[in-house]
Amino acid sequence: MVEYLCGGYGVSERRACGVARLARSTQCYRGSKNPQTALRQRIRETGRTRVRYGYWKIRVLLNREGWKVGNKWAYRLYREEGLGLRPRPRRRYQASSYPRERTKPRAPNEVWSLDFVADQLADERGFRALTVVDVFTRESLAIEAGQSLKGENVVGA
């Protein structure tokens, strides 16, 4: 905008900055940072040849080649070059590919099943009950009830 005002209306830079409400230090500023074009080009080449490498592995390769690159600097250049690594989709692990078939009991006292049942009394105190059932006869072998059932109670039942 300042250059347009200076060129189009023939006013000074100071006057154009005043009209645009822009500080002159901002207009006159020239960046002093080195653009690191050789380093950027090397990062781009490495990223294109080794597609699954992220910025960390590329930084390690660059340091081995003799470039002294910190991890934050390497990350910034890596992102500016548009080399962001896409996240892999999460795998869904299966418990087992071939589940075992349950063996059916052929006689009483071969297989038992345990279950905890919880409820609440009229005065809002909770209690739990441990039930032990024989799978073959479907007969209840034991019911252990209490407000707090510990491991000893389960083993005793």
21 shares a domain with 38: no
What single-letter amino acid sits at 81?
Answer: E
Is 65 inside any structural domain?
A: yes
> What's this model's pTM, rounded to 2 decimal places?
0.39
Is 93 inside any structural domain?
A: no
Q: How far apart are CA 55 and CA 64, in angstroms?
A: 14
47 shares a domain with 22: no
Using the 3D structure, point to which of 67, 85, 103 is the last residue of a domain. 85
Q: Which range of residues forms the domain containing residue 136?
A: 112-156
15 shares a domain with 56: no
What DSSP designation does 83 have?
-
- Identify the CA nearest to 146 among candidates 136, 133, 157: 157
For position 97, what pLDDT does the model report? Answer: 65
Q: Answer for the pair 110, 126: CB distance below 8 angstroms, yes or no.
A: no
When divided into structural domains, the chain yields a total of 3
Is 38 inside any structural domain?
A: yes
Beta bridge partners of 116: 130
CA angle 55, 56, 58 (to 5 degrees): 65
For position 8, what pLDDT does the model report? Answer: 93
Is 137 inside any structural domain?
A: yes
Please list the alpha-helical segments (H only) found in the chain.
2-9, 13-20, 24-28, 37-49, 55-65, 71-80, 151-156
43 shares a domain with 3: no
Q: Residue-wise pLDDT tens for the chain (157 aa)?
A: 999 999 999 999 999 999 999 999 989 888 877 778 899 999 999 988 988 899 999 999 999 999 999 999 999 999 988 888 777 788 887 766 666 777 788 999 899 999 998 999 899 899 999 999 999 999 999 999 988 888 888 888 8
What DSSP designation does 124 have?
S
Q: How far apart are CA 139 and CA 108, in angstroms?
A: 9
139 shares a domain with 128: yes
Is 99 inside any structural domain?
A: no
**Residues 6 or more apart whose Cβ sits within 8 Å of residue 113:** 132, 133, 135
Q: How far apart are CA 154 and CA 157, in angstroms?
A: 5
Is 6 inside any structural domain?
A: yes
Is 145 inside any structural domain?
A: yes
Is 9 inside any structural domain?
A: yes
